[in-house]
Chain A
Amino acid sequence: MVESRLTRALLRLGAGFTLFFIYFPLIVIALYAFNGNVTQRWPIEDWSTKWFPVAFENQGVRDALKHSVMAGLGATAIALVLGTLASTAISRYRFFGREIVTFAVILPIALPGIVTGLALQATIKDVLGPFGVKFGLATIVIGHATFCVVVVYNNVLARLRRTSGSLDEASADLGADNWQTFRYVMFPQMRTALLAGGLLAFALSFDEIIVTIFTSGAIQTLPIWMYATLFRPTELPIVNVVALFVILVSIIPVYFAQKLAGDTGVAGSTAQAAPAATQEDATP
């Protein structure tokens, strides 16, 4: 062992502190969902579950949830198609412009959300507007799909790199056409990667706020609803319940995605962990 006993104790302490720091706010906000009072005062004195039915019966919340799910499904579907196509091309071919494609896939998450959002809004309003394009669910889906592609792309690419192109060739040699090769050879190999990528893409879309603010028009998604409502003092209890709900909805897919993608053990999950980090920064 390289580390001394003291070092190890200190590291354990430091790690524990950081972990506490990571979970403390989530726990606090989860507790506030059970706060019976309208005012947000710590510590909570009046424990109650009375805001849960109020929140779930709130029409604004229901509409926003519906829009969030629709936008998430739409964006995920597009991201799955585009991400699979791009990752297949990148992993199986060397070609002129390959680096540009890689770069273009990553760019939407490398730039701040406000830049992406502003760019999309300017285009939709000033370039497409005169052709009758309006802000709405479709423009939200377009915006989300743009930065969700990279999540699917990274997951599928990591999987394809671990599998061999010679299997596809063997399939072709045995008389399968392209579709059959994809359906019976490639798809089973990348199935879990697709599922993991899809889950993450959905979680990403479900949470996104900045790009959505610029592309949503009058449509409210759950984060947009929250961002508007948290400025209204009397509705904060409902916001707290929705916040708890959003945490659960975004965390559960990640847990399963991690299980699916981490099917090669520790090494796999590490390899997964780092690219997952690269994928993320679209959320802010």
Chain B
Amino acid sequence: MRVNRRAAVLVALGLLVAALAVVAAGCGGGDDGGDVSTELEGLGTSLEEIQDLARQEGEVNLIQWPGYSVLTDEFTSATGCKVNTKDGASSDDMIALLQSGAYDGGSFSGNASVRLMTTGDVAPVNTEFITNFADIQEGIQGQDYNSLDGQPYGVPHGRGPNYLMFRTDQVPEDTDTWGVIWEDDQLAKYKGKISIYDDSIFIADAALYLMATQPDLGIEDPYQLSQEQFDAAVALLKKQAPFVGEYWPGDVVKQIQSYTNGDSVVGTTWPYQYLALTKENVPVAGIKPREGTTGWSDTWMISSNAGNPNCMYLWMDHMASPEAQAVVAEGFGEAPVNLKACDLTTNPNHCEDFHADDESWWEDVYYWTTPAQDCNDDDDSTTCMTQADWKAAWTEIRG
């Protein structure tokens, strides 16, 4: 036994040394992001060449939000690229998936895309090869969640708000404030029946409410918070936590079920669940409260290690087409960014319902973005809480 234990230690040490050596060898070569050239290994140099090469690639591997990809059969028969999709539950999840190197690209919200552009995990795109790019709304082009120094890093996909959703038979129908999930008396009233998105980005929703109710905190951007502002938001969330019935981690099925049978009566949601519930005649309302809301403006981006770059380019173009935009906007419940889609939706009022062409409606919708140490501003004197801080705090809030 004695001998065996010594042997075990020796073997373990030997393996440790071997592992260390291998790791050390693997540590070289960092990444070199920030290159503005849109050339990509294996990518054709003209649209015709891209189309030819895409037929050889024959497939494209995508990361997407649940319920996003559409018209894949038409795309496959037109381009020869088979579409494989993987749903991400959160932006962190999607970053991990993309960094695994197995995917050609994905639809990223700002709290993923900003990081991915900085690290160089996604590549800048040559919009000449994306014929539908010119039709994208101008207000959406060149934003900091889809471009770096004016260079587009992908094709905008669509935008949407996070709704306050409540059962109209349980919560007053004229409710128009987030206070219903933050204020003491309301919390007590709906204890155990509140439904909250399970991700650290939800801290921004607390900050957004503080922005309206506690102006002396001086919050200007719910994603870039100083220590004091952050602590206030976290305290608000900790106060809320005992009253929350369910945290839904991108699990739309569970949330739809819990609203259907009344286990949840109020909370935060994506329009997708709201539309699904109204289709089933569940009495729910989904609104943008008077404080404004958080939301997303997503972008299809191409991995800088894409194995099928040509199919990915064609996919980005496809997703910007009026046909695909119309289907995805209605399917998920969001505003298309190619307004030509508005003529193709089965509900002729879809674009109006989702305010696709009404910039003023979006003024108080704060799109998801990444909390950054430098507060994402030019002021060197300010520092903000980082993504890692947000995540650690979220784990604590969840308890």
A and B, direct touch (CB closer than 8 Å): yes
- Residues on A facing B (Cβ under 8 Å): 39, 59, 63, 96-97, 99-100, 121, 125-131, 134-136, 216-220, 228, 230-233, 236
Pairwise interchain contact A218-B86, C-beta atoms closer than 8 A: yes
CB-defined contacts of B218 to chain A, threshold 8 Å: none
CB-defined contacts of B307 to chain A, threshold 8 Å: 134
Chain B: CB-nearest residue to A133: B101
CB-defined contacts of B253 to chain A, threshold 8 Å: 230-233, 236
CB-defined contacts of A128 to chain B, threshold 8 Å: 26
Bound complex: CA A128 to CA B19 (Å): 11
Bound complex: CA A263 to CA B8 (Å): 37
Q: B28 near A: Cβ within 8 Å?
A: yes
| CB proximity to A under 8 Å, residues B227-281 | 250-253, 256, 276, 280
CB-defined contacts of A121 to chain B, threshold 8 Å: 100
A220's contact among B8, B23, B84, B276, by CB below 8 Å, is which? B84
| CB proximity to A under 8 Å, residues B1-53 | 3-4, 7-8, 11, 19, 22-23, 25-26, 28-29
Bound complex: CA A178 to CA B39 (Å): 58
Chain B: CB-nearest residue to A124: B100
| CB proximity to A under 8 Å, residues B79-129 | 82, 84, 86-87, 99-103
CB-defined contacts of B103 to chain A, threshold 8 Å: 217-218
- Residues on B facing A (Cβ under 8 Å): 3-4, 7-8, 11, 19, 22-23, 25-26, 28-29, 61, 66-67, 82, 84, 86-87, 99-103, 250-253, 256, 276, 280, 307
Bound complex: CA A63 to CA B76 (Å): 15
CB-defined contacts of A99 to chain B, threshold 8 Å: 4
B87's contact among A126, A127, A228, by CB below 8 Å, is which? A228
Bound complex: CA A99 to CA B8 (Å): 9
* CB proximity of A46 to chain B, nearest CB, Å: 16
Pairwise interchain contact A217-B29, C-beta atoms closer than 8 A: no
* CB proximity of A114 to chain B, nearest CB, Å: 14
User: Assuming the A-B contacts A130-B29, A228-B87, are A125 and B4 also in contact, with contact meaning beta carbons closer than 8 angstroms in the complex?
Assistant: no
Pairwise interchain contact A125-B11, C-beta atoms closer than 8 A: no
Pairwise interchain contact B7-A130, C-beta atoms closer than 8 A: no
CB-defined contacts of A127 to chain B, threshold 8 Å: 19, 22-23, 26
Pairwise interchain contact A125-B101, C-beta atoms closer than 8 A: yes
Pairwise interchain contact B28-A130, C-beta atoms closer than 8 A: yes
CB-defined contacts of B28 to chain A, threshold 8 Å: 130
Bound complex: CA A130 to CA B276 (Å): 45
* CB proximity of B312 to chain A, nearest CB, Å: 12
Bound complex: CA A59 to CA B11 (Å): 47
Pairwise interchain contact A135-B100, C-beta atoms closer than 8 A: yes
CB-defined contacts of B3 to chain A, threshold 8 Å: 96
Bound complex: CA A77 to CA B101 (Å): 27
CB-defined contacts of A218 to chain B, threshold 8 Å: 61, 84, 86, 102-103
Pairwise interchain contact A228-B86, C-beta atoms closer than 8 A: yes
CB-defined contacts of A217 to chain B, threshold 8 Å: 100-103
